Amino acid sequence: MSVNRHKSHFGYMLLGALLMLMLVTNLAKAVEPDEILQDKALEARARHISEGLRCLVCQNQSIDDSAAPLAKDLRVLVRERLKAGDTDQQIEDFVVARYGEFVLLKPRFEPHTFLLWFATPVVFIIALLIVAFAYRRRSAVPTTAALSDAEELRLRHLLEDR
């Protein structure tokens, strides 16, 4: 049983780590009253930017939705930069320079994401071509004429009567 006990000890640690994580991510949510800027236009911009920035310690949540301390720091940072007169783009660049592209919920359009952005349209065009090709090929192949509805009905009656 020693192996098992070792395993369960490890499991205990993992569980602990997981619970810690839950603790971090499940406390109160998002923007706190004291963070909100007086200037409504600036605040609206802050919210808009926050919605596009990922909370780095959470699962796929924007900093606007997350209650993690790190998300709060980032929200405050965004608002400070706004008050300092930065444009939205400058703020985005600033945050990316600090935390990497991982922080952006909308990946940038750059060589390493071309495949990501182009994949869907390319799949769509290929699918269209396949449909068109299959249709033309099938129209070209002569097949025996299908039975008309009336004939089919008659066939069914004949067979069922047997």
Partner 1 sequence: MIAETGHYALILALAVAIVQTVLPLWGTRTRDPQLTAIAVPAAQVQFLLIAVSFAALMTAYVTSDFSLENVWANSHSAKPLIYKIAGVWGNHEGSMVLWVLILALFGAAVATFGSNLPDELQANVLAVQGSIAAAFLLFIVTTSNPFIRLDPAPLDGQGLNPVLQDPALAFHPPFLYTGYVGFSMAFSFAVAALIDGRIDAAWARWVRPWTLAAWMCLTLGIAMGSWWAYYELGWGGFWFWDPVENASFMPWLAGTALLHSALVMEKRDALKVWTILLAIITFSLSLMGTFLVRSGVLTSVHAFAVDPARGIFILAIMGTFIGGALTLFAIRAPLLAQGGLFAPISREGSLVVNNLLLTTACAAVFVGTLYPLALESLTGEKISVGPPFFNFTFVPLIVPLLVAVPFGPMLAWKRGDLVAAWQRLTAAAALSLLAMVLVLGFQQRGPWLAPFGIGLGIWLIFGALSEIAFRVKLLDGSLGEAWRRLGKLPRSAYGTALAHAGLGIVMIGIVATTAWRSESILALKPKGTTEIAGYQVTFEGVTPREGPNYRERVGVFQVMRGGEEVTTLEPSKREYTVERSSTTEAGIHASWRGDLYAVLGDQLKDGAYSVRLYFNPLVRFIWLGAVVMFIGGALSLSDRRLRIGAPKRAKALGQNLAAAK
Please state, in angstroms and rounded to a whole number, the distance separating the CA atoms of residues 110 and 101. Answer: 11
* 90 sits near partner 1 (criterion: CB under 8 A): no
Separation of CA 117 from chain center: 13
Q: Closest Cα partner for 81 from 69, 98, 66?
A: 98
| Helix (H/G/I), strand (E/B), else coil: 49 | helix
Stretch that binds partner 1, among 68-76, 77-85, 86-94, 120-128 (CB under 8 A): 120-128
Instruction: Let me know the angle formed at the C-alpha of 107 by 102 and 110, rounded to the nearest 5 degrees.
Output: 110
Of 13, 44, 127, 147, the one binding partner 1 by CB under 8 A:
127
What minimum distance in Å lies between the beta carbon of 83 and partner 1? 19
- Beta bridge partners, 62, equal 54
Stretch that binds partner 1, among 13-21, 69-77, 78-86, 87-95 (CB under 8 A): 13-21
End-to-end CA distance of the chain: 71
At 73, phi and psi to the nearest 5?
A: -55, -45
* 84 sits near partner 1 (criterion: CB under 8 A): no
**44-63: contacts with partner 1 (CB under 8 A):** 52, 54, 59-62
Contacting residues toward partner 1, per CB under 8 A: 1, 4-5, 7-8, 11-12, 14-15, 18-19, 21-23, 26-34, 36, 52, 54, 59-62, 65, 100-107, 112-113, 115-117, 119-120, 123-124, 127-128, 131, 135, 138-139, 143, 146, 156, 159-160, 162
